[in-house]
Each structure stands twice: as structure tokens, then as C-alpha cells.
Structure 1
Amino acid sequence: MKIALLGAGHIGETIARLLHGSGHYDVTVFDKNAASLQPLAAEGIKVQTIENVGPGSAALVRGFAAIVNALPYQLAIPAAHMALEAGCHYFDLTEDVAATKEIMRIAEGAKTAFMPQCGLAPGFIGIVAAHLAKSFDSLNDVKMRVGALPAFPTNALKYNLTWSVDGLINEYCHPCECIHDGEKIDALPLEGLEHFSLDGTEYEAFNTSGGLGTLCETLEGKVKNLDYKTVRYPGHRDLMQFLLGDLMLKNDQELLKDIMRKSMPATMQDVVLVFVTVSGMKNGRLVQEVFARKIFAERDGARPLSAIQITTAAGMCAAVDLFRQGKLPQSGFVAQEQVSLPEFLANEFGKAYQQSRQVESIG
């Protein structure tokens, strides 16, 4: 399968190596930064520089079976239009709600498939929640919690950069879709603070945008309460609220991003926490089911991988691979909840989640 991969950044390079290494894909990586492409070219992966992403550059990717977009969320809509014009299938990692809704519109009547949100959250978390929900006669609560956290927090925010600063601030600043008492509403970001303990470690969780993917539309009218919250170490939310609200940096997000890039070190030593609870009625009884995983960075070998690289790249590669195998719709909009969790975990790429440590002791 011939793949045009857009973006050779932190996640894109990992996707490129995984797809290329599987032997099932002919991958060409496009990026505007030639220096970012050099390590991949040295490994025998095809690379090409690209100035702009959008309809005008569709000629560059015409003839490819699919576009895999690993660029920042702001380029999701132009990349989807590019795929439509070129006649390619389309996959991306976007967590942006507005971009996803526009891609749904672009996919209407398309002869090719459009599958955004193929990462961790949105992405894998929605696959898990939909799988658990299917086994209930009726649903009360679906709670989805995900955190990409430094393994060794040392600063006041108890946070290090593990992924895109653009995506981080975006999810902290936009309304959060959820279902409350059967009604679909928009909740405020950074609100809904809760605390919990897992494996002896204390965490907090709060509303952030985009993690639900399309589950609100899928489960509307079927669930009483549905929400997604980001997991952090205690105290993080209050400091972000101070920065975004009290210092009004919500109105100058580029300044905040610049400050974080300059003052907050990135880390490859991270852990990803996935925590989903679903409650409802089964055979006349009120029951709850839980799915919990901790995925750790891989420090062995010549090329260490962070936990967020592993989980995000695995989500994308598994989606593309299941599509190649004919296990997903081949045209129109494809939602994450259309992916079978058992098939995902059995996939050569999805096994990254299956082989992680399952958390058994949950109160």
C-alpha cells in the first residue's frame, strides 16, 4: 500500500519507521524541513520536501493510496481537502473538534475513506469505551480518562513537554463536548476537577477538549452521562487556570506556547495512563466495567521511544493496517468507534497496548 506521510516530527518519524518496517507499505514522508527528513532518508525511507499542504499541492500525492497526516492540528482541514482532490484515503491524529466536523462534511459522498483522530485520545480511548458500552443493556455513565505524564515530575506544573504544545494549549482552551443527564452540552475546559488514586499514585483529572472524538454523536440518546478528562498530577490544573485565566494568556496563546517551549524541558521518560469506566444495566443488575493500562517509555535499544510516541503511532498504524486488511469501511467518514477492540489489540501495531502493563488493582 502506497502511503504519503505528512510530517516528520516526533510522532511522524515513528509512524514512518513502523509502517516501513512492517514490509506492507511503500512510504514517502513529506515535510518542509529537509533536516527533519535526513534521518529517515538515511534508513532507506523515501522522503520529499513540501512547501504547502492543501488543494494546490494535491499533485504531489496523486497516485498514493492514502495520506497519513501527522502535521499540527491547524493543517488537518487543508490536508483533508488535499486528499479529496488527489483521490486518496485520509487518516490523521487531530484532536480539534472543529477540524473533525469539517472532515465529516468533506467525507460526505466521497469515494475514499476519511478517518481522523487515529491517535490516543481521541483514538484508542474511544475504541475502548465503545467496546465496553456494547456489552450493556442500557448505559448510565461512560467516563474516559487519559494522561501523558512525565515519569519524574520536578517543576511546579509537574509536567514536561511530551507532545505538541499547540495541541496541549488547544485542548485547554476550547469547549468540551459531553453528555450530562442525557443532554449533549459543552462543558468548560479545566473544570470538573476530580481526584483519584491508581497504583498508589495520586492524580487529578479535568475537562479538556477533543478527547471524546465522535462518541457524543454515537451515544447520544443511549447514555445518561459521557465525559472525557485529561489526567495530570495534583496542582497542575490550578496553575494552568492561573496562567490562562488570571494572567489572560488564553487571549495570547502564542506567547504562552513560546514561554512553555523555552522554559519547560521535553522528556522521553514518560508514562501514558488509560482509564475507562462504564456502568449500566446487564441482565437486570447495575454493574461497572473498567479498562486500565499504563504504557511506559522504551529506553532499551539504539532508538528510545517515549510512551506518547508508542501509543499515538500505534493508534495510527493500527487504523491504517486494519483498513488495508478490509476490516474498516472503505469510503466515507470512519469513526474510531467502528474499530473492533479485539482486532485492534491483535494487530501487529495495536499490540503496543496489549503488551503494556494492565492495571489490576483498581478501587
Structure 2
Amino acid sequence: MKNVVVIGAGKIGSTIARLLAHSGDYQVTLADRSTEQLALIEKHEAISVAEIDISDAAAMVGLLTGKFAVLSAAPYHLTIAIAEAASRAGVHYLDLTEDVESTRRVKAIAETANTAFIPQCGLAPGFISIVANDLSRRFDTLDSVRMRVGALPQYPSNALNYNLTWSTDGVINEYIEPCEAIVEGHLIEVPALEEREEFSLDGVTYEAFNTSGGLGTLCETLKGKVRTLNYRTIRYPGHAAIMKALLNDLGLRHRREVLKDIFENALPSTLQDVVIIFVTVSGRKEGRLVQETYANKVYSAVVAGRMMSAIQITTASSICAVLDMLAKGELPAKGFIRQEEIGLDAFLKSRFGHHYEQRAYADKMAS
């Protein structure tokens, strides 16, 4: 039995705690500063709760000391405080952050730590980098790596064609901050919400555009090995134009709290969502230019006895799968670990990672 702490009792944090508790191999302390949020957590013998202010460094170290790992499902701006507490307490650290600067600082903390530091363990960044690196390793030389991910409502009903299924702070951050990309072999920054494209999958038309953080550390890993590398978020057509108007024309990029309040009071949440994962890699094999694509859709489903949204399933199962691999000695126990260092086959065979094979299983049943 491994004792772990999950920071953040929101949609994703509570899902992580539930998955780990139902596995029978983890005792989970779910921590949050909100008494009201903690009161909503369903009782389980393997889950206890702790009210804590993350800014209280001594309290954080006290909470983490003696535990196996801490998993951060807190907003990205709290990442560093949690990582520093993990280092001081001598516990393994995993997070879901998409924030580029936070990950750079986590990497610096890991350099002097005696435990593993594994940031960006979600869907994107996270699983998407595992898939992209797996495809890339099949080529003699690489030309392009294009990664597309979206968490969308199955039944869009507003002008944005969007429902809140994930962290509002995270969505706003990825729409505003600069995005890394490799263009003509050079690592550069490109603006968010730009380079819009359209594509079709299963007869449905989508748009995709630059957003920040989805590449994780893959740019650094593949720099000098690929001509083109980019990440774009998938939405239904029309979303990007409205977001540009809100952020640029109305100036809400400089008033994030106002935009967050609008989103959380005007956009309903939904469990009826779909996560789309679309990765295309091209390069040369035995002298021939070849392309390989990974395409998948994950839908909301009943997991661990509860109906969960697709974004809850994919995000929570990713970090749980990485934790499981770490606990079993399948990942290094010290230092900074990139998502692309994790094998796709091992990930999908794990008891948590197999949730990504939901569609493939459904197709087999239908046939």
C-alpha cells in the first residue's frame, strides 16, 4: 500500500483520488484549501481529506513527509510551491501543468532532488507526447510531427461550441501564453490562437489552432531531429474567432479573472464530452517518405463506479498510470523524467492507461 497526497479536490483531483482508491493499492490524502470542496468528496475507506493552504510551506512539508508521492491537480500558478515542498519532504512529484515556465522551474528543482519529478502527466501535455515519441521512433529520419488534441462537448449548443470540462484557469492560460514550435528546424515561439486549420475526422469538421504548453518537453527532445513540430488544440469551427474577439478586441487577456468569471457563469459543464487525439508523423524509412497517424476518440463512461467525462478519464488515468509505473519500478526513481521517456505499450497495458483504448475496444465489440 502506497500513501500518496493529491493536491486539489476539484473535478480532476477528486477523480484521481477515486481511481487510486478503487485500485486497492493506494491510501490517498486529498488536500485542498476549500472546506466546502472537501465536504463534497464521496466517503471511501482509502481516502482521507486535509484542509491546507499551499502557501504555508511548513504545513505542506509536514503533510508530504513520509508519503510516497504527491500528485498536483492544483492550478498551474501553485505548481512551484508544491514542487518545492515535495523536494524538501523527499517525496516523488507528479503534476498536470501545461504551463511552460512552471515546468522549467520544476526541472531546476529536480536537479538537486533525491526523488523523481515528473511534470505534465495529463492528456496534453502528457499522453500526446508519449504517442508522438512512439511514432517518431519508427522512422530513420523525421520530417514533421503534428499533434492535435481537443476536449469537446458531444452536443455543442452555444456560439463558442464549447462547455467547461476542464480547468478554466488552464484553458485561459493556454489561449494567451506563447507556444513553442519547431519551424524549418528552428525552435521558436508562435502566438496562441493563430495558424488556424480545418480537418475532418469521422465525417465531422474541426478547427485547430496554436495553444501553449501542449508539447511539453518534446521540442527540446526533438530539436535538431525534425523539420516541423507543432501542437494545436481542436475545437468546433468558429471558436477561435470568438476567443480572439474576447481576448484581443475586448482586452480580456489582461483581465483574466473577469474572463474566468464569464466562462464559469455562462458556460455550463457537461459529462457528455469527447476527447480527440490526432497525431501525424512523417519521415523516411529505408529511403522512402512515409506517414503514420494515431487517431483516437475517448468518450465519457462509467469508471470506478461513477459516470465520468472523457477529459476526467483521460487526464486522471494518465497521471495514475505514470504513478503506477513509478511505484512498480518501471520508471527512474530520481531526477527529471519527461513524458516522452515513457513507453506507449507499457502505458496502455497498465490498469489505468488502458482507458485510452476505449474506442478500440468498442470497435472490436461492434465487429
TM-score (norm 2): 0.95
Q: 1:40 deviation in Å?
A: 3.6
Aligned to 1:137: 140
Aligned to 1:83: 86
Q: 1:37 deviation in Å?
A: 2.4
Q: 1:125 to 1:170 in 2, by over 3 A?
A: same
Do structure 1's residue 105 and structure 2's residue 142 form an aligned pair? no
Q: 1:93 deviation in Å?
A: 0.3
Alpha-carbon contact 2:19-2:304 (below 8 Å) kept: no
- State the secondary structure of the residue aligned to 2:306: coil
Q: 1:357 deviation in Å?
A: 4.0
Alpha-carbon contact 1:114-1:333 (below 8 Å) kept: yes
* Further displaced range: 38-47 or 145-154: 38-47
| Counterpart-to-counterpart distance in 2, 1:141 and 1:323 | 31
| Counterpart-to-counterpart distance in 1, 2:269 and 2:356 | 23
Do structure 1's residue 46 and structure 2's residue 48 form an aligned pair? yes
Q: 1:47 deviation in Å?
A: 1.4
Do structure 1's residue 336 and structure 2's residue 332 form an aligned pair? no
* Map 1:1-363 → 2, pairs under 5 A: 1-40=2-41, 42-44=43-45, 45-53=47-55, 55-57=57-59, 58-298=61-301, 303-357=306-360
Q: 1:34 deviation in Å?
A: 2.5
| Counterpart-to-counterpart distance in 2, 1:300 and 1:141 | 36
TM-score (norm 1): 0.96
Q: Which amino acid aligns with 2:191?
A: L
Q: 5+ residue gaps in structure 1?
A: none
Alpha-carbon contact 1:292-1:358 (below 8 Å) kept: no
Q: 5+ residue gaps in structure 2?
A: none
Q: 1:191 to 1:262 in 2, by over 3 A?
A: same
| Counterpart-to-counterpart distance in 2, 1:235 and 1:334 | 37
Q: 1:225 to 1:30 in 2, by over 3 A?
A: same
Q: 1:20 deviation in Å?
A: 1.0
| Counterpart-to-counterpart distance in 2, 1:350 and 1:36 | 27
Q: 1:109 deviation in Å?
A: 2.9
* Further displaced range: 252-261 or 98-107: 252-261
| Counterpart-to-counterpart distance in 1, 2:17 and 2:82 | 18
Q: 1:359 to 1:276 in 2, by over 3 A?
A: farther
| Counterpart-to-counterpart distance in 2, 1:76 and 1:356 | 33
Q: Which amino acid aligns with 2:7?
A: L
| Counterpart-to-counterpart distance in 1, 2:164 and 2:8 | 19
Of all paired residues, the percent bearing the same amino acid is 53
Matched residues, number: 360
* Further displaced range: 243-252 or 27-36: 27-36
| Counterpart-to-counterpart distance in 1, 2:174 and 2:127 | 17
| Counterpart-to-counterpart distance in 1, 2:148 and 2:206 | 11
Q: Give CA deviations for 1:293-336 in whole Å, capped at 9, x if unaligned.
A: 10001169962100000000011000000111111111010100
| Counterpart-to-counterpart distance in 1, 2:143 and 2:62 | 49
Alpha-carbon contact 1:53-1:82 (below 8 Å) kept: no
